[in-house]
């Protein structure tokens, strides 16, 4: 029967336990599986299971390819000048007329 050396790791992200096979000449100290920093905050996962590795690979790919369309809030029109916002219209009143009001007599 063939034997392999394995190590048992516990995922730092989801706490799942997993067995990993060791290569013959594996060093005792290895770099963390995931390490990132953003605006002074640092996130390090020394051990990750396969599911979390795949998840972080997909998230990293989405972050690298993320492109957001910029939408402007002020759209100049022909009626307004180039530096003016379009005129605002009052919102219509969709509430039903009250029975004792003048609007109720119209029905």
Query: Domain count of the chain?
Result: 1
Query: Distance between CA atoms of 89 and 40, rounded to whole angstroms?
Result: 45
Specify if 69 maps to a domain: no
The whole-number pLDDT of residue 74 equals 62
In whole numbers, what is the pLDDT of the chain averaged over residues?
A: 79
Confidence of residue 88 (pLDDT cuts 50, 70, 90): confident
User: How far apart, in whole angstroms, are the C-alpha atoms of residue 66 and residue 20?
Assistant: 33
% of the chain beyond a pLDDT of 90: 16
Is 70 exceeded by the pLDDT of residue 87? Answer: no
In a domain, 52, yes or no: yes
Distance CA 52, CA 13 (A): 7
Please indicate, yes or no, if residue 3 is contained in any of the structural domains.
Answer: no
In a 13 Å sphere around the CA of 20, the CA atoms on its Cβ side amount to 15
pLDDT recorded at residue 107: 56
- Tell me: the pLDDT tens digits for 7-56? 898 998 899 998 888 877 777 788 888 898 989 999 999 889 999 999 99
For residue 47, being part of any structural domain is answered with yes
CB contact set of 32 (below 8 Å; sequence gap of 6+)? 44, 45, 46, 47
CB 106 within 8 A of CB 97: yes
- Classify strands 41-45 and 34-38 as parallel, antiparallel or unpaired: antiparallel
The whole domain housing 39 covers 32-63
In this structure, the chain runs to a length of 107
pLDDT at 100 over 80: no
């Amino acid at each position: 029967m063939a034997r392999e050396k394995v190590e048992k790791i516990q995922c730092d992200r989801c706490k799942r336990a997993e067995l990993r096979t060791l290569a013959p000449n594996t060093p005792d100290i290895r770099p963390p599986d995931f390490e990132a920093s953003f605006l002074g905050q640092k996130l390090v996962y020394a051990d990750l299971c396969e599911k979390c590795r795949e998840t972080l690979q997909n998230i990293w790919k989405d972050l690298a390819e993320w492109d957001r369309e910029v939408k402007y809030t002020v759209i100049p029109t022909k009626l307004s000048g180039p530096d003016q916002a379009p005129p605002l219209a009052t919102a219509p009143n969709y509430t039903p007329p009250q029975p004792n009001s003048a609007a109720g007599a119209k029905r």
